[in-house]
Amino acid sequence: MLCGVLTAGCSAAYAGDGNFPLCMYGISAARDLAVIKEAGFNCFVTGIQDPEALAQLAGEAKRLKLLMTAYPDRVINSPYSEAAKKWPMLAWYLYDEPEVRNMPPADLKKLDLKTKAWSPAQRTAFVMGDGVAAFTYGAASDALMVDWYPVPHLKMESVGYQVSLVKSAAKAMDVKKPEKPVWAVLQAFDWKLYPQRRAPRVGRYPTFDEIRFMTYLALARGAEGLFYYTFSQEGKTLDAWPERWFLFKQIASEINKLKPILEKNKEAAPPEGLDARLVVKVFSKGRRQYMLLLNPSTPNIPLNAAALKSWRPLFEKKRRLEDILPGKNNIYMPAYRTLVMER
């Protein structure tokens, strides 16, 4: 369940335990940290490897109460080696997509053990570009990450499939930590910016509805942390495009309102009478229940309003399903529609 993110799923206590990761990739300057903090993010990933530069980022991150994820390679034997053990780390980032570079699993495990021997009180993590790879590499690290960027080439529901694969692999590959957290890395860029075999290049920036769908589908499939790739792009940062940055501020606002539920909850049975094609995830916290309800496909799916009589939608302009969804007396969930509800 989602609350496993930073609690029982870890064999040791780590900095940041109990705090649902909501992170931005591509942080390269201290100035970026204030921007993502103001937007509602609580952690970041940086590709910077220079120990001195990382120390400066760590200092600013500590001041702003942000957690960081960075490569340990050049830090371990640097003059900052001891100080780094007290940096505000979400995790040390072992490797980026080892399956793409055909890294032997034993080498990744060796890097994990080396990092833990150096700093046992800090978590390790790495990212894979395909959930299947977790069945090869999933025994390494304290947290597993999967990046999947479908817009516009693939079906968006494939995000959930990738998260589910990594969740399954985590349980199968590491008997000592079968509940290790899985973090989803989601798309925040246009594929046209990257080399492609086809000409002309194909791509576009995801819409708000697409970003929101991928976010909640990842949560519904068991993601215990959310990352967005990437804050740095086209030689600028995302806030250079206010219309784009606003999308992620909106997402962060919603997730932050749900953080108490995401950090600690119990799974509950979904309402009876809902179409089996819908993705449904229900959490209980105290006397309240919260539900993620998604249409993970392009065909419209009928929605049984009577089954949801006691539920009310969150983050919508109106409170009645009949006023939110099309169909009038026979409402339905359009393609990739997302609802968050409570009762």
Query: Can you give the pLDDT at residue 17?
Result: 59
Neighbour-count burial of 56, counting CB atoms closer than 10 A to its CB (0-12 exposed, 13-18 middle, 19+ buried): middle
Same domain, 147 and 281: no
How far lies 242's CA from each of 44, 189, 237, 246, 313, in Å? Answer: 20, 14, 10, 6, 27
Q: How far apart are the first and last CA of the chain?
A: 19
Same domain, 287 and 138: no
Place 97 in a pLDDT band, splitting at 50, 70 and 90. very high
Q: For 185-237, what is each residue's pLDDT tens digit?
A: 999 999 999 999 888 999 999 999 999 999 999 999 999 999 999 999 999 99
The Cα–Cα gap between 125 and 123 comes to 7
Same domain, 122 and 219: yes
Query: Can you give the pLDDT at residue 176?
Result: 86
**CATH number of the domain residue 55 falls in:** 3.20.20.80
Same domain, 150 and 104: yes
Phi, psi of 26 (to 5 degrees): 80, 30
Same domain, 28 and 161: yes
Residue 285 lies in domain? 267-342
pLDDT beyond 70 at 1: no
Domain boundary among 248, 264, 280: 264
Q: For 128-182, what is each residue's pLDDT tens digit?
A: 999 999 999 999 999 999 999 999 999 999 999 999 999 999 999 988 888 999 9
Mean pLDDT of the chain: 94
Q: Are strands 67-70 and 43-45 parallel, antiparallel or unpaired?
A: parallel
Query: Can you give the pLDDT at residue 178?
Result: 87
Question: Of 326, 287, 335, nearest to 305 (Cα)?
Answer: 326
The Cα–Cα gap between 34 and 102 comes to 37
